[in-house]
């Protein structure tokens, strides 16, 4: 019985390397990724879905809910870092690195504020997992995935958290302290689908 941490599917903002506004939905590719994710996770027999309340996360969770009949529980604690006034801007257009250790976006979250929220989010995740009898799926955002892996879980020896978590990637961690990670940033459901499509094309 485990916790599955999932990053949402692709959006146009992801593809264009833009700091996203809260209302941005999945694009067509992201919707397909969400369906492939649901196909994969349906074999896990999960019993609860916890999700960021932003549309791109909700849209990623909806195929999971549709396949399983399990309702989605939303929480704003699972939102992506709030970049405030620079949301909607391309990374390349910014005068400094928005992910730098000292960068504080105007009217947004600095790193200490973001990490404090993620700590509260992870405590909530663990509490929710302990209240159910089975696997918990958590659909959230890339920086949240990385913060959980770096600060709240035990990575295998020699493994470091990736700088960027891929769209619909799956990270598996144990529900008990020290929350050992057995899989990180895995997108084999997307690779398998691509291989099948290519095989179909060759035939």
Written as one string, the DSSP assignment of 49-93 is EEEESSHHHHHHHHHHHHHH-PPEEEEGGGSPP--GGGTT-BGGG
CATH class belonging to 2-202:
alpha beta
Distances (CA, A) of 28 to 31, 135, 169: 5, 28, 17
Q: What is the pLDDT of residue 43?
A: 85
Distance CA 36, CA 24 (A): 21
Confidence label for 202 from pLDDT (cuts 50, 70 and 90): very low
Token pair 């941490």 in the structure block, residue: 5
pLDDT over 90, % of the chain: 91
CA neighbor of 124 nearest in space, from 173, 51, 59, 174: 51
Tell me if the bond preceding 73 is cis, omega within 30° of 0: no
Using the Cα atoms of residue 167, residue 8, residue 86 and residue 28 in order, give the sign of their dihedral.
positive
Classified as helix, coil or strand, 182 is strand
Active site residues: 8, 80
Distance CA 130, CA 7 (A): 22
Q: Residue 195: is its pLDDT beyond 90?
A: no
Tell whether the model's pLDDT for residue 108 goes beyond 90.
yes
How confident is the model at residue 76, as a pLDDT? 98
pLDDT of residue 45: 86
pLDDT of residue 1: 61
Tell me the average pLDDT across 59-72. Answer: 97
CA distance 76 to 46: 22
> What is the residue extent of each domain of the chain?
2-202
pLDDT of residue 52: 98
Average pLDDT in the 26-39 region?
A: 97
Query: Is 60 exceeded by the pLDDT of residue 80?
Result: yes
Tokens of 111: 């790193």
- In whole angstroms, what is the distance from residue 91 CA to residue 184 CA? 25
Provide DSSP, 94-130.
SSS-TTSTT---TTS--HHHHHHHHHHHHHHHHHHHH
pLDDT(200) > 80: no
Q: Is 111's pLDDT higher than 60?
A: yes
Name the pLDDT band for 44 (thresholds 50, 70, 90).
Answer: confident
Mapping DSSP to helix (H, G, I), strand (E, B) and coil, where does residue 24 land? coil
Which range among 49-63, 95-109, 155-169, 187-201 shows the weakest confidence by mean pLDDT? 187-201
Q: For the chain, give the mean pLDDT.
A: 93
Summarised one tens digit per residue, pLDDT across range 128-175 is 999 999 999 999 999 999 999 999 999 999 999 999 999 999 999 999
């Amino acid at each position: 019985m485990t916790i599955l941490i999932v990053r949402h599917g692709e959006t146009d903002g992801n593809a264009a390397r833009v700091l996203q506004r809260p209302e941005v939905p999945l694009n067509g590719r992201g919707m397909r990724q969400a369906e492939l994710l649901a196909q994969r996770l349906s074999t896990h027999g999960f019993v609860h879905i916890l999700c960021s309340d932003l549309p791109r996360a909700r849209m990623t969770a909806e195929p999971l809910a549709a396949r399983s009949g399990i309702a989605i529980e939303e929480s704003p604690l699972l939102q992506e870092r709030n970049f405030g006034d620079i949301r909607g801007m391309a990374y390349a257009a910014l005068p400094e690195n928005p992910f730098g250790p000292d960068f504080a976006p105007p009217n947004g979250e600095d790193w200490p504020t973001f990490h404090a929220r993620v700590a509260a989010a992870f405590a909530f995740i663990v509490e929710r997992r302990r209240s159910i009898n089975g696997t918990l799926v958590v659909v959230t955002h890339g920086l949240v995935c990385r913060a959980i892996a770096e600060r709240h879980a035990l990575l295998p020896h020699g493994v470091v958290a990736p700088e960027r978590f891929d769209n619909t990637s799956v990270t598996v961690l144990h529900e008990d302290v020290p929350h050992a990670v057995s899989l990180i940033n895995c997108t084999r459901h997307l690779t398998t689908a691509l291989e099948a499509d290519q095989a179909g094309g060759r035939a």
